[in-house]
Structure 1
Amino acid sequence: MKHPSHGAFALCAVLALTACGSGSPSGDADGEPAEENAAADGELTEVELGLIPIVDVAPIYLGQREGIFEEHGLDLTLTLAQGGAAIIPAVSSGDMDFGFSNVTSLLIAADNGLPLQTVAAGPQTTGDSENDFGAVLVKPNSGIESAQDLEGQRVAVNTLNNISDSMISQGVLEAGGDPSAVDFVEVGFPDMLAQLEADNVDAIFAVDPFASMADDEGHDRIFAPYADVVEDLGVGTYFASQQLVDEDPELVESFHTAVRESQAYAEENPEAVREVLLEYTSIDESMLEEISIPAFPEDVNLGSLEEVAEISERHGLIGELPDVEDLVWEGAR
């Protein structure tokens, strides 16, 4: 389902999007809540969710498989993208109803005036530096042994000026290094390992399943930016446009509740998380047990979001600190 945005063209221009879509809101002509109508007549409301093919979004695939979204009147279509920075303009313009993004992308969008709202919690770091789902990896015997050693090195991240390089920069700073001396290179997660092995980069920041693939090839973990920089870092969230929140709060409530239940199911069933990865990633089945599973909280961590905002401002990603509560739908706080 597509929702029109009165400021779609202006919003897309901020993020250099060349084409924007429009459509109709999710409520029906009688103005009755979408989920109530679905329950009454057996019809489901079609919604589109933009995702990245990484372990972070496993709860969504599980929720779809277990019928959780259908229970809440939603017929969910999943659309894959390389990063949240690509999903944000699609949600802003109404081309997608909901999206998944790391929290830094949403902070940057808000700083640029895009009216978005976090509506459900996503993955959270395990807090285990040795076994988190995201890590900086290097080739054996590279001489790079710590975050400080990344000075002067080429480091692959999936999106520049975002959560990965800002957290790495903060880690380098805290280790006594100069983050401005790190040469960040944008590389998609699926291509990082090949770029490292070809010596086109000196280090990669990968998340599972790609981090575990690099482990399997014998590369060394030197630093866990998500686990080491912010305690209980909430890495990503699910979001909607402010227009959708205002025009169809029942749909937002249905989506929020379905995601919350899916997160809880994933947290309670880590083996199911591993199994569902085979449906949407390229990981080999033999590696499933090696993958680090994130924590999947049910609620948005406002304290973590505030710390990420401070780091983003410190490293020049945003111009001023927001009131993070204004960025989170009241039902998700």
Structure 2
Amino acid sequence: AAAFSLIGEIKAAFVKLATDSPDITDYESALLDNLYKRELQPQSHPPSAPLPPDPFPLGSAITNPRQFFGRNRELKEIFGVWQISPIQHRVIIGARRSGKSSLLHYLKLITQTQLTDLRPHQKHNWLRNPHAYRWVFVDFQNPLFHTPSYFLSHLLRGFGYKVDASHSYSIGDFLQMIDANPFSGQAIILMNEASAILDKPQFDELFWGGMRSFISNSPKVNIGCIATAHYKHRNKLTDFVSISSPFWNVFQFLELGAFTQDESLELITSSPNPFPADDIEWILQQSGCWPALLQIICGIRLRALAEKEPTAVWQEEALERIEPYQYLLKYGRCA
């Protein structure tokens, strides 16, 4: 009864409000005010469950270590040279869609990821003391990094320094800040698509000479660098690595090719719905063990299993989808 009485009072108050009645009581005014306040308050909703990871992700670089497969040889080499003195540096050369950016993200994330967020038996203990490392990811596909000041301030923030956003940092400023308050430990600089800045005049010999001094002569910190670049820029990089640049000539090339057959099978057999043996053989043959092609074909096969598509249908679709990436096969097949 009390509830019905309150509803009646609210209705009466709204009628008076709608007709501009002068005799609306203080009680009715307070009642309406309380209703409006409740209406304007943000409604709380239970958090939505996270989306399940795609078994065969496509398009963007892989940033979830659980979804990354293969590259065991490259991982052993890179993590190995980061744990010796003097530390060594690498340029990963590979074709478009060969997985260069995904590898950089994986290098940064795998040693810091909880075991519960990895696949069973996925190797993660690549470093003896992973928490001693600082990781700074630089994406030269972002034009903001095409100015030395932005690049250097980003490095400083990554190393734990307080940066003045209004200041334009020179290589001299950068070295002076580090010299005045050196940090210690290990630091890894990961540079995606580094060839994008090689021709930029603002990144001159003085700049690269300062960077060479930083990575080679910092007394309290071991600094490792790894960069990626497209195959088509190899000649340009070769000039920088061998002659032109006091920074880049300390790097060695590491070519990124197809997966091994074992790595390919690990990816294929990770499907939540197992593929028949004949399909696995066909996928290996058509993909040449390139990860991008494997992911495309496996994604199509997984959907076809769920929808019970005939073999000829899904295979025709797969061949059409991988056609734009057939150029990968000229760089080799299963290693």
How would you bin the TM-score normalised by the shorter chain? under 0.3
Structure number having the greater helix percentage: 2
TM-score scaled by length of structure 2: 0.25
TM-score scaled by length of structure 1: 0.26
